[in-house]
């Protein structure tokens, strides 16, 4: 796209490649005016009322050595080393440093003989009540 220089003294648009651009630029020339002189004192008055700005922020320079990559490399190499050497924490730690939890087991409880017989009798009675009566063929109650 053809661009005009600031100093271009353009009078009328001509039929060229960027004619629309020329026309727009030419039309907007009217806006190239100075702001009123009274603007600055007003700005100054308003600026004096507000607190002075703080010092500009400093842009942090990027470190020459990429720190993130370095940390990643250290962590990965430490893990690989630990796996490679087969470090066993249980062997290196003293026995007193960790607690031993007993494995849960099912314990046998001794039940008296009379109780077992009673339970068996109760079971048989309950079963008899639940089962429907067996009828012989052709005989109805």
Residues that bind another protein (CB under 8 A): 3-4, 6, 12, 15, 19-21, 23-36, 39-40, 42-44, 46-48, 50-57, 59
* In the complex, minimum distance from the CB of residue 45 to another protein, in angstroms, rounded to a whole number: 10
Q: Which is nearer to another protein, 41 or 141 (CB)?
A: 41
Q: Which is nearer to another protein, 27 or 72 (CB)?
A: 27
Q: Which is nearer to another protein, 42 or 121 (CB)?
A: 42
* In the complex, minimum distance from the CB of residue 54 to another protein, in angstroms, rounded to a whole number: 3
- Please say whether the beta carbons of 19 and 13 come within 8 A: yes
Rounded distance, CA 126 to CA 129, Å? 5
* In the complex, minimum distance from the CB of residue 10 to another protein, in angstroms, rounded to a whole number: 11
Q: Which is nearer to another protein, 27 or 77 (CB)?
A: 27
* In the complex, minimum distance from the CB of residue 67 to another protein, in angstroms, rounded to a whole number: 22
């Amino acid at each position: 796209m053809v661009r005009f220089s600031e100093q271009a003294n353009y009078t009328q648009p001509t039929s060229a490649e960027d004619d629309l651009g020329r026309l727009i630029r030419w039309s907007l020339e009217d806006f190239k005016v100075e702001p009123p002189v009274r603007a600055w004192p007003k700005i100054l008055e308003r600026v004096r009322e507000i607190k002075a700005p703080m010092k500009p922020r400093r842009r942090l320079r990027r470190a020459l050595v990429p720190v993130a990559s370095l940390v990643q490399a250290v962590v990965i190499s430490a893990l690989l080393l630990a796996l490679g050497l087969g470090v066993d924490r249980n062997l290196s730690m003293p026995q007193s440093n960790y607690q031993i939890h007993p494995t849960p087991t099912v314990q046998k409880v001794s039940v008296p003989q009379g109780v077992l017989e009673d339970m068996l009798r109760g079971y048989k009675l309950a079963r008899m009540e639940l089962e429907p009566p067996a009828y012989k063929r052709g005989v109805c109650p």
